[in-house]
Amino acid sequence: MKPDANQHDPDPERLRELIEKSGLSIRAAAQQIGISDRMLRYYLTPEDKKSHRPCPYPEQFALEALAAAATSGEAATQAHGCAPQGVAQRHNQREV
């Protein structure tokens, strides 16, 4: 996966989908990409709301990478019948 700023799409719904695919909570996703959960919530706020902030491309790419890692991890789990490293940790983070 290579960064391509031409693919920048800061749509809040798309960002939510990436977080859902990652299997992480908003807080855990924010922590994984190195931003505060408050900032991530600003990015996820609908564009017509006053508190909305457009998501910069580096943060979007980081969320895409989390989603891709989770997707490839699910494929590995199905193929090998076991959880890849990190999956249990992500599940534990959701409980926080």
Is residue 50 a part of any domain in this protein?
A: yes
Is residue 2 a part of any domain in this protein?
A: no
Give yes or no for residue 46 having a pLDDT over 50. yes
Which of 8, 9, 10, 12 has the alpha carbon at shortest distance from 46? 12
Is residue 44 a part of any domain in this protein?
A: yes
pLDDT tens-digit series, residues 9-44:
999 999 999 999 999 999 999 999 999 999 999 999
- The total of other beta-carbon atoms located within 10 Å of residue 70's CB is 21
Is residue 14 a part of any domain in this protein?
A: yes
pTM to 2 decimal places:
0.74
Is residue 26 a part of any domain in this protein?
A: yes
- Measured between alpha carbons, how far is 59 from 16 in angstroms, rounded to an integer? 13
Biggest CA–CA distance in the chain, Å, is 47
Q: Give Cα 35 to chain centroid, integer Å.
A: 12
Is residue 4 a part of any domain in this protein?
A: no
Averaged pLDDT score across all residues of the chain = 82
Q: Is 23 exposed, middle or buried (0-12, 13-18, 19+ CB in 10 A)?
A: buried
Domain that holds residue 71: 10-94
Give the chain's domain count. Answer: 1
